Structure 1
Amino acid sequence: MSATRVLLLHGYSSVNRGDGLLVDESLQMIREVHGQDVVIDLVTSYPESFQYTGLKSYCSKPSMRGYDLDYLRLILSKFRGYDLVVGVGGGYLRFGTPLESIKTLLVMGPQLIAAAASPSRTVYLPQSIGPARFGFGRPLRFLLSKLNRVWVRDNRSLEQFGVGEVARASDLALLAMQRRSLPYDNRLTPVISVREHRGGVPQGAVVLASRIGEFDGYVQSAVAGNDDESAVHSLKPSKICTFKEFIDSPKSARVVVAVRLHAALMAIQAGHYVVHLAYERKGFGAFEDLGLGDFVFNVHDFSPSDVEDLVTQLLADPSAREAYDARIFAASESIGQSRGNVLKSLSKNSARPNVEAH
């Protein structure tokens, strides 16, 4: 019997740690369902960044000379020859501004169109879809309706694009989350991780950093148009935490303010206490699923004093940290059910899963 062949779409770059995490978790779930012998090919904007996976990769990002020929052949084949086509989790189907719409059309559009036309089973892992301005709403709904299963990770996406086999699940980072238990050292300062959005570092984050005083910084992404280094340095942190000391193998829990969602979720998994300043709908969905809905704020419309109060409480009050931990533990059962539903949808002969848990 030949090995199952799977094509994973919509990869970006592993240098953006959040996007790398989403690809890694997608691969883990595919292998959990189809075994370690499954053959997986990857479509990504930056294939060189995923060399560590050992997968055959196709470059989806057009150059000045146009699309890569191997990628074009793959698209024109409508992915025939694959048993399963999977869209990585994320927030890449967006048509909010003219520039964003052009990028989505050029990079993500051909993949979605080919997936919708493919004879293979097609499953898109938990997405935030939209906004869909400039008349893109109707064609986007049409293409999504042609897929076998589309998981969305927030209620707003479900309300706007709940067509065909669209259903709610938790973010991939939540589905895989196993939170560390770390000792707390009250001598440590908070950590702030920011990015530019709408042309600069959001003003509320700048004010918050000035109110908090001493803090360390953390850079979540340093790739192309998603490079956060200058944004983080502009707040003048005492130092920049490395990925190893902050996420991979921290020795103590920290109180964290994070703008990128997966900086926030990776910090929670690492054992830290996080307040999230969200710039998209995905952040509210994830923190609500964690039972932490009052720890997420709109990065462009929040009270710095309110967030400062939460940070101060988490820094000083052990009972506040215990309550934070208890909420995450309480949410783990429903997140586990959500994970089971997503795994079932990846099987070859999947029946429609029970989607009432989320």
Structure 2
Amino acid sequence: MRVGIVGWFGSDNLGDEILLHSLITCVREVKENASFVVFCPNPDRVAELHGVQTEHMPVLRARGASERQVAVQRAIKSCQLLLLGPGTVFQERSPNLSWPGTLPMFARIIAMAKLAGTPVATVGVGVREGGTPFGRQVLRLIGASCVAVGVRDERTASHFGSGAEVIGDMAYTLPLPDLDRADSGRRFALSMRPLAPDLEGSLLAATSACAGRLRQEGWSGTFLPMAFGRGAHGEDDRVIYERAFRDLLDLDSTPLDGSRPLVGALRDWLQSLATNQLVLGTRLHAALLAVAIGVPTVAIAYERKVHDAFVDLGLREFLVPPDVDAETLYRTATAAAASAEQFREAAQRVAAQGRIAQGFVTALVKRLG
């Protein structure tokens, strides 16, 4: 079976690469010999990380766009199934996109798949907030054109209608190695991403003050860089580290540094993450993977998707807004660190949701493969 996957992969965002790795793994649980072609912004990088065939996304305003359209059409026709997602692929606006964002491109991909006779489904997708009535109409049409609609959360489901199925974040399906949660002392990790200037300044002040206070109390700390902004403006977490945390926290390693194959490097990264007794995170997948392995976590909800994920996991009390003050962040962090049992229960909910997502993919692949 040949499966096409369309998403924002190859920009050196660890969360996105984990989503792609998780989806490929889910498909291969059903079809061990499945082959893949991934349509993405940075095909060479995706091929390097995941060892799959790749094609550029069919954007119209790029050098060689007409040749790309032909290559994409040919690749879609070779697939027995085309999957949109996972991740927040549907965006009308973002710091890097003007209206109408990605929606016309995905509508065009749907049309190309229909012409090729290739069935389309969404898997673990999200819709970025700030949409318009026009965007909602386009999303309804996209949903109606799919043989199955699997979405990340209830809010996204409302954009697609009653046929949408909430399957959760595909990262919940990530196979977790046997992790050593042995006591390594009081250790915390911080994930912080670039934000709009009106939010970033105050949040940096609050997080650095909280981290400094934890250090004074005997905690050791590391900074988790989750994204490096390959081809994406304002996405390099190392900028934040250099600006605010270089003299306060050690810089953690990343599975994307190229020194090892992704699968092995990811396993070691998860093992390192498991040695923490606390994680503070703006990056969604830093927070979700910490919860998945039972690490007490405070999520800084810079976007609705972070808020929705923690509410769905029963962790609302450990959510803070991006304009949080240092004292509130510190109190929430220490409360989370003292709630280990609550996070062990949340890890079980993550595993249960992962089984739902795997079941969705399994049923889809069996039906069409």
TM > 0.5 fold call: yes
Q: Name the residue aligned to 1:353.
A: none
Task: Please tell me whether the aligned partners of residues 171 and 289 of structure 2 are also in contact (alpha carbons under 8 angstroms).
Answer: yes
Letter of the structure 2 residue corresponding to residue 216 of structure 1: T
- Closer, same or farther: CA 66–113 of 1 in aligned 2, 3 Å: farther
The alignment covers a number of residue pairs equal to 340
- AA partner of residue 50 (structure 1): V
Partner SS state of residue 219, structure 1: coil
Q: What's the CA shift string for 1:40-71, capped at 9, x where partnerless?
A: 11111111212233322111275975345553
For 2:239, which of 230, 238, 261 is the aligned residue? 230
Query: Do the aligned partners of 1:222 and 1:228 also contact (CA within 8 Å) in 2?
Result: yes
Moved more, 242-251 or 78-87: 242-251
State how far apart, in whole Å, the 1-side matches of 2:308 and 2:331 are.
23
Is residue 343 from structure 1 mapped to residue 343 from structure 2 by the alignment? Answer: no
The residue correspondences of 1:270-349 to structure 2 (distance < 5 A) are: 272-300=295-323, 302=324, 304-315=326-337, 317=338, 320-330=339-349, 332-349=351-368
| Distance verdict in 2 for CA 1:64–1:147, change over 3 Å | closer
C-alpha contact 2:103 2:138 (8 A) present in aligned 1: no
Q: Partner letter of residue 229 of structure 1?
A: R
State the match for 2:143 in structure 1.
144
**Structure of greater relative contact order (alpha carbons < 8 Å, 6+ residues apart):** 2
Partner of 2:259: none
For normalisation by structure 1, the TM-score amounts to 0.82
Q: Does 1:59 align with 2:56?
A: yes
Q: Deviations over 1:315-357 (max 9, x none)?
A: 4x3xx2133213322553354234313321232349xxxxxxx
Taking the TM superposition and a 5 Å limit, the aligned residue runs for 1:71-220 are 71-76=68-73, 79-96=76-93, 99-101=97-99, 103-105=101-103, 108=106, 110-115=108-113, 119-131=117-129, 132-133=131-132, 135-162=134-161, 165-176=163-174, 178=176, 180-188=179-187, 190-199=188-197, 201=200, 203-213=202-212, 214=215, 215-220=221-226
Q: CA-to-partner distance for each residue in 1:241-271, whole Å, 9 max, x for gaps?
A: 2236982432722311111101222333455
Q: Which has the higher helix share?
A: 2
List gaps (5 residues or longer) in structure 2. Answer: 216-220, 256-264
- Find the aligned partners of 2:108 and 2:254 in 1 and give their Cα distance: 34
CA contact (8 A) 1:156 1:281 kept: no
- Name the Cα RMSD after superposition: 3.0
**Identical-pair percentage:** 19
Q: Alpha-carbon deviation of 1:175?
A: 2.5
Matched, 1:240 2:251: yes
Alpha-carbon distance change, 63 to 158 in structure 1, aligned in 2, over 3 angstroms = closer
CA contact under 8 A between 2:170 and 2:354: conserved in structure 1?
Answer: no
Q: Which amino acid aligns with 1:254?
A: Q
Structure 1 residue 90: deviation in Å?
Answer: 0.2
- Asked if structure 2 preserves the Cα contact closer than 8 Å seen for 1:60 and 1:67, the reply is no
- After superposition, the Cα gap between the structure-2 partners of 1:294 and 1:47, relative to the gap in structure 1 and judged at 3 Å, is same
Q: Deviations over 1:219-254 (max 9, x none)?
A: 110023221111233222322122369824327223
Structure 1 gap ranges (5+): 351-358
Name the amino acid aligned to 1:114.
M
Which digits, 9 at most, give the CA deviation of each residue in 1:84-112, with x for residues without a partner?
Answer: 11123100211135934355257655334
Kindly indicate whether the alpha-carbon contact (under 8 Å) linking 1:11 and 1:23 is maintained by their aligned counterparts in 2: no
